Amino acid sequence: MRIIALIVCAIAMVSPLSSQQQVIVDLPEVRGPFTLSAVYDSAAGHNAFAYAGNTVPPVIRVLPGGVIKLRYVNNLPGRSDEECATGRCGNMTNLHFHGLHVSPERPQDDVLTMMAMPGESLDYTVVVPAYSPPRLYWYHTHPHGESARQDLDGMSGAIIVEGIDRYYPELRHMRQRVIILRDHDMEHSDAAIREQVVRRVEIPSSPCGTSTEQNPERVFTANGTIRPQIPIGPGERQFWRILNASPDRYADLQLNGEQLEIVALDGMPLSYHNRHRATRKVDHVLVPPAGRVEMIVTGPSSGSRATLSTRCVDTGADGDPNPAMVIADVGPAHADSPIRNLPSTTGPAVYKELSSQEIQKLELSTPDFTVTFTEDKSGFYINGGKFSMDDQPMLRVQVGSMQHWRIVNSTREIHPFHIHQIHFLAYAQNGVHSDAPEWLDTVNVPYGNGSVDLIMDFTDPIIRGVSVFHCHLLSHEDKGMMAKILFE
């Protein structure tokens, strides 16, 4: 059964546009130590992750208090035919554990001193604290200058810290699905194929947003397939854990007007900071590149079909096209993979309740630090600086503190701000207080001198050392929109 599933999986990854609609594939899972390799996938014509004989990256599942132990082997060729953001790729690589509250130092979530050239390998032992919020994280490569290409090549996967059922016990009775959104790149496809794909995902012919570039070169895939079917019965409730692993495309997700019941954003259960907080029902949810949403969806009523789709996202005059498109069909299907319910875990839910007076005081204070995004023809900058690996930290922050940061976007396109290892409370946009402040690790910053205000939580005692914050449009990060921070 497993072998068949893997073959189906592999076919789906190689030919995402087949004539018969495929049911969404389940991804392989791994618990315990394993080996992951970076390889050149000649069938796909680009680099890939290899695991257990296939080029389908596994979902890493770990318990709070557990360890992610893996050997990452760089088997990429010394000479690459692929173009990276700043020229021909060199095929160096490493791993980042996005969103995990773990140490930024070797052999954990270190993207600065750990780097494998072709023929080299890296050994990671990432200790997940027992008090870790149980949630959806992800791993992707993070070599400065080559991140965008490797992420576009699909060198990423999901990480789940078990135990979200401790916060929302009703999830135990639902089918759970891990859904990874990636790009099908049509940059080098001929016009007829491109047109066929555009029709298949129903990209409207009318323009989307103010971007001067309207020709879509990418469409979303779900677990490797363009527009698969996601089986669900009428009125059935399922728990979907969605990761946007695109290097630069936003997903503004909706399900035909059905309400989406959000359980966690960027992996943070909504009740983690307030045990009385319920799930939140919305018509659509913006998931920036690198963002995650975990939500309960209800199957459309008998006889009707629905689609999971993204709305048009206005990326700004200098932004890339980000049109509306169908991601998957949702409804009864002729077949489905074996049911995977959420494994029940034992142990209490851990909460991190902060004093609302302290939060309010920080919100009203002058920002401790302002990050300003700018760009020109020669690069992308934070506070006027273009990142270099030998930079000194742009700032130092005390472990144990919380700070008010403002992120200002002085460009004509949107950028998602991300900081490694920690979460922040995004509570205001363009100076206006949000009616639903959320704890995130990646947040969109509006274009045209737009801003977001954040409360940064530096209180975790194990997060010490030098780390980074950056724009998560990865080609911008590759071209300099990143800076170092020292947690001391």
Q: Which residues bind Cu ion (CB under 5 A)?
A: 415, 471, 473, 476
Half-sphere CA count of 287, side-chain side, radius 13 A:
29
Closer CB to Cu ion, 219 or 471, in the complex: 471
Q: How far is the CB of 248 from Cu ion (least distance, A)?
A: 8
CA-to-CA separations, 383 to 295, 337, 409, 483, in angstroms, rounded: 36, 49, 10, 9
* Smallest separation (angstroms) from Cu ion to the CB of 371: 12
Whole-angstrom distance, CA of residue 106 vs CA of residue 112: 9
Q: Which is nearer to Cu ion, 197 or 482 (CB)?
A: 482
| For Cu ion, the closer CB: 75 or 86 | 86
Report the DSSP beta bridge partners of residue 94: none
Closest by Cα among 142, 102, 63, 120 to 482: 142
Compare residues 149 and 476 and give the one whose CB is closer to Cu ion: 476
Pick left, alpha or beta for residue 186 (phi over 0 → left; psi -120 to 50 → alpha; otherwise beta).
alpha
* Closest CB 207 distance from Cu ion, rounded Å: 22
For Cu ion, give the closer residue by CB, 30 or 471.
471
CB of 473 to Cu ion, least distance (A): 4
Give least dist CB 450 to Cu ion, A. Answer: 13
Cα 103 to chain centroid distance, Å, stands at: 20
| CA–CA dist 258, 256 (Å, integer) | 5
Pick the closer one to Cu ion by CB: 189 or 410: 410
Rounded Cα distance, 84 and 86, in Å: 6
Q: How far is the CB of 471 from Cu ion (least distance, A)?
A: 3
Nearer Cβ to Cu ion (237/412):
412
Nearer to Cu ion, 26 or 183 (CB): 183
User: Among all chains, which residue has been given the structure tokens 């020229």?
Assistant: 87
Residue 380 beta carbon to Cu ion: minimum distance, rounded to whole angstroms? 6
Q: What element of type H or E holds 12?
A: helix 2-14
Distance CA 68, CA 45 (A): 30
Choice between 289 and 331, CB closer to Cu ion: 289
Among 88, 165, 109, which Cα is nearest to 346's? Answer: 165
Between CA 388 and CA 461, with CA 111 as vertex, the angle to 5 degrees is: 115
Strand 96-98 versus strand 87-88 pairing type: unpaired
Residue 301 exposed, middle or buried by CB count within 10 Å (0-12, 13-18, 19+): exposed
Structure tokens at 136: 């959806």
What's the closest the beta carbon of residue 142 comes to Cu ion, in angstroms?
15
Q: Which is nearer to Cu ion, 273 or 415 (CB)?
A: 415
Nearer to Cu ion, 229 or 411 (CB): 411
The H or E element that residue 312 is part of is none
Of the candidates 227, 268, 9, the one whose C-alpha atom is nearest the C-alpha of residue 134 is 268
Q: How far is the CB of 169 from Cu ion (least distance, A)?
A: 39
CB of 381 to Cu ion, least distance (A): 10
CB of residue 321 to Cu ion, shortest distance in Å:
16
Give 317: exposed, middle or buried? Use CB within 10 Å, 0-12, 13-18, 19+: middle
